[in-house]
Structures are given as structure tokens and as C-alpha cells.
Structure 1
């Protein structure tokens, strides 16, 4: 895997070099000291993955991510120190197309653990961009009567998702008659911050989904752990580590498939911008089970990977620009 680094701090670059050196399959191809240089280097020698810092002189990581995803798209992992203080910038970068974020490794006592965390993130992204398909087993439909008559919108997103989710949620009124469950590819360390940020930008409160809770109208829940979020047979939300072969978690496919299997009320599945194929198979199963399905169109997607996979599979009943999805939800469920 060809990897590049954009970081102006020599110690941070050295820590990343050491983390990459422990994995023979990782090849460091270049290092840029600021965002502008990273944009230029991507034009000349596009990496499979770019490890991008947030705070650099001149062009910062957010703007560099935005330009790279527009000009020469590639997988971008935000690697930055003091993630909590830079949370809004991190979500801006993810909205521009970055896949995930991880704390920068150190050269101190924690370097072995820090480096292993970075390598695990890289491994997850390699799985995602390698288009590995799900081998999860689809359970036999045994739908609960608990959610009969209720309405649900299940939304999956990855790269570019935060910005798309904000735009979508801003158009939904606070008295929306359905539950909304969001599955966004984000580490559990940052999930609470993302829920708070999404809530501050929309008309409804957004919080993390709790183990065992029952879905209620006019609520927005975000998958909040590194386990998969399921809709259980009795209609409650649960977290489980299985299927273990789904490296990226929470998996959109896993949640969509559980909705297709167990939800008794009306539901709409929505697959937004993202790299890879996660969500496409689950969306197809939802459509096959009689639920309405929507994929974001190419023009409005920061990364047209997951929606494209859904369209290719015939999983999407409709393909819509982002600014028309909320209106469609209101038409069908409002």
C-alpha cells in the first residue's frame, strides 16, 4: 500500500515513519510539509492513502482535503494531535471527504500502543478501499410486532458524510414523524462529539444510540461504538461485535440488513456519500423486502463510492441529489 504524509512537525513525521515501518506492505512514497505541497504532490504521485495533519502553515488540512478530493481523489486519514480541541476542523475534513481520524502517535512511552492504533486504522481503510464484500449471514425474517405502524429512516454515510448529514438534517422539521438512525463511519472516541455537533446544526437533538432502546418518532440516533448496531427481533437497538469479518465498524450493511429483517413498520433506507461498498448490499436487501431506498447522486457526493455500488446492484429505488432527499422523506413519511 502506497502511503504519503502531510505534516510539518518533524517528530510527528518520524513517529509515523516508525509506525509504517512495522508493516512490510506499507510503502512511504513522499512527505509534504504543508497542505499546498500535499495537493501538488497528489497531482504528481497519487498515493493509496494520505495521512493528513490538520494544523499546518499556509493551507491547512481541511482545505487540502477539500482540494485533493476535488482534483485527485484518494483515501485520506486525518492524523492530528489534540483531536478534541480540533473536533470541528476534524468534522469539516470528514465532510470534505476524509475517511477517518486518529490521534497522532508519539515517540514517548506510548509509542508502541499509538503506532498500533494508527496501523489498525490504516488496515481498516485498506479493507474499505479494497472493496471487500460482506460475508455476514442474513437471518431469516422474523419481524417483531413491537414496531408495527412506526416509521424509520435508516441512513448510512462514510467519507463526506458529516457535511451531508448536516445539510440533510437541517431540512427536516423537529416534529418529523419517524425515527432517524445514522450509521456513520467514525471511531467511538469521536462519536459523542459528532452527535453534539450534528445536533447543534439541526432542528432535532442528536444523541448516541443506547443499548436496548426502543425507537421513537422525532429522534435522531447515531451509532456510537466500535461494535455493529443492530435492530433486534423485538425492535430494540443492540450493539454486537459480530460479524467479526466486517473490519469497518459500525457497518452500514449490518444495520440495513437487520432493518430489512426485523422492522415491521414503514422504513426508508438512505445511502449517502462514502468510499467503498458498505451499505450497498444492505440497501438492496431493504428494497427486496419492500422498503423504499434512496442513494445520493454523483454530483452531490463528496465521494461517489458507496452510492455508486448501490446503484450498480439495483439497490436504490431512487437516486437523488442531496438537497432533494429530505423533501422526499417528508413526502413519503410526513
Structure 2
């Protein structure tokens, strides 16, 4: 895998160089010392991964990420002196398409090596042979995001699923937490599957539907359990579909299907694009059957959906994709 380094601090560049040198089959593609240089070099020679500093002269890492993802997209990880201190900028970069973030290592960092290895798997550049069976006998995963008009669309989809549905399902519907218990109960009446509100520590199981149930972001952890986080605060919606989709791409090592349904705005579109790029089967609802053709339209513009389908055809398409695995 070819990795580029973008950082205005010479010492940080050297630490990152040495870290990359410790990974078999990985090489430094090039080094840039500010965002302007990075955008120019990336357009000429797009690497597999960029380790992008946040604060730099001339053009910072956030703006550079925005330009690169528009012009010559590739995997980008933000590497900064303090992820917590610059959280706002880190999350802004993630909104533009950055995959992950980590503190700049002082010396060789096992944390950085682990994150690079994870990204390598996501983009198909792992130097290790692929394992045929998913770890821990993971179920298949179906992730669904919806907003305005979502309840009826969701009911129509999950009502078509059989009791032996071969995947775990996670739904992020834009809805205030006070309404989620009654919404979960209503959805439970629409399907033979079990619908429950996701709690911190909930572990995904085949045939169960987990519903985001707090005014916080639902995320999937590395141990394959569900949790809630406050950040990023700048999101228009809490829970955010993009936040869950991105966490699923970063942490789920099994097979997955992503679905983006009717809704206003763009939430979920970037996350769906990340899913497609990582090898997930992705579906967006079509214009005709959407109450509001906002989020699926944004996904279509990003070429994030493998299939664009009317709501009545989504269930069968997803079952077909899942059965193929």
C-alpha cells in the first residue's frame, strides 16, 4: 500500500516515515508540508492512504481533505497533536470524507499501525491473506437510515422479511428519543422479527432489529457491540445516519448491506458511499417513492448506491444480496 504524509513538522514526518517502514509491503508515496502541496501532489499521484495533519500553513488539513475528496478521492486519516483538542476540525474533516483520526505518535505507534492495517483491509490493500470465515461467527449486517417519511417506508420493508431473516438489522431513524419506545413497539407489529431499542453493549444478532433510541449518535464498536456518543455535536441530526454508517464501515469485519431511505438533507449519503467503497451492497430509495427526495438524491449524486430502487423492491433486493453471501 502506498501511503502519503502531509505534515508541516519535520519531526512528525520522520516518525511517520519510520512507522510506515515497519509495515511489510507499505511504502511512502510522497510527502507534502501543507494542504496546497498535498492537493497538487494527490491530483498527480493519488496514494492509497493519506496521513493528514490538521493544522498547517497555507491550507489546513480540513480544507485539503475537502479538495482531495472532490478531485482525487482516496482514504484519509487525520493525524494531529491532539484529537480531543481539535475535535471540531477532526469531525469537520470526517464530514468531508476522512475515515479516522489519531494523535500524532511521538515514536513508533502500535495504535497507528493498527488503524493503518484496518484501513488497508477496508480498501483491499491488506498485506495479509484474507480469511475465508468472518471472526467470531459474525452475522450478516443490514444498516438502514431514514428520516422524513421513514416510518412507513421502514414498515413496508421489514414487513417483507421472513422470520428466518439471515442478518442483524440496525435502523437509524431521525426521531426524538421520547417517541422511540412507541415507534419500536409499532415496528414490532409490522414484522415477524424482534424489534428492540439499542442499548449500550447490545450485541448484534441474526434476526433482530435494533433501533437507535437516544438523542445521541448510535455507533458500532470494535467489539461488535452498539453504543452511543455525543460527538460530533455539529450534526444536524442526533442520531446521525452518517455517524453510524461510518462506524460500521470502520469496525465491522463481516459482510453488510446499507440502505438509505426517504428524508430531507444529506445525512447518510457519505456513509453509504464509504460502505460501497468498502465492498458493501448499497441501496438508495428512488425519487418516485420518497416522501422527500433529499438523502437518497445526495447518495445518488455521490454514486454511493449500487441500486436505486422503489421502496417496494428494496426488501427483495437486500435478501437477494444477503443470500449470495
TM-score range, shorter chain: 0.5 to 0.7
Once the two structures are TM-superposed, the CA of residue 238 in structure 1 deviates from its matched residue by: 0.7
CA contact (8 A) 2:281 2:321 kept: no
- Residue 265 in 1 paired to residue 254 in 2? yes
Q: Which residue of 1 is the match for residue 22 of structure 2?
A: none
SS at match of 2:279: coil
Counterparts of residues 125-274 of structure 1 (less than 5 Å): 134=95, 138-139=99-100, 140=115, 141=118, 146=135, 149-274=138-263
Once the two structures are TM-superposed, the CA of residue 333 in structure 1 deviates from its matched residue by: 1.4
Q: Which has the higher contact order (CA 8 A, sep 6+)?
A: 1
Once the two structures are TM-superposed, the CA of residue 234 in structure 1 deviates from its matched residue by: 1.4
Question: C-alpha separation between the residues in 2 aligned to 1:238 and 1:251?
Answer: 13
Counterparts of residues 305-316 of structure 1 (less than 5 Å): 305-316=294-305
Q: Which residue of 2 is the match for residue 284 of structure 1?
A: 273
SS at match of 1:134: helix
TM-score by length of 2: 0.59
Q: Which residue of 2 is the match for residue 275 of structure 1?
A: 264
Q: Which residue of 2 is the match for residue 330 of structure 1?
A: 319
SS at match of 1:319: strand
Once the two structures are TM-superposed, the CA of residue 243 in structure 1 deviates from its matched residue by: 1.2
CA contact (8 A) 2:264 2:292 kept: yes
Per the alignment, do residues 205 and 322 of structure 1 end up closer, same or farther by CA in structure 2, a change over 3 Å counting? Answer: same
CA deviation vs aligned residue, 1:219-273 (integer Å, no higher than 9, x gap):
0110000110001111111101011221311000000001111111110000000
CA contact (8 A) 2:242 2:269 kept: yes
Q: Which runs of 5+ in 1 are unaligned?
A: 1-132
TM-score by length of 1: 0.58
CA contact (8 A) 1:135 1:245 kept: no
Question: C-alpha separation between the residues in 1 aligned to 2:212 and 2:157?
Answer: 17
SS at match of 1:220: strand
Once the two structures are TM-superposed, the CA of residue 293 in structure 1 deviates from its matched residue by: 0.5
CA deviation vs aligned residue, 1:147-178 (integer Å, no higher than 9, x gap):
55420000000000000000001100111010
CA contact (8 A) 2:97 2:270 kept: no
Once the two structures are TM-superposed, the CA of residue 134 in structure 1 deviates from its matched residue by: 3.2
Partner of residue 293 from structure 2, selected from 282, 292, 304 = 304
Q: After the TM superposition, list the runs of 4 or more consecutive aligned residues in structure 1 that deviate by more than 6 angstroms.
A: 142-145
Instruction: Tell me whether 136-145 or 321-330 shows the greater mean CA deviation.
Output: 136-145
RMSD in angstroms over aligned alpha carbons? 1.9
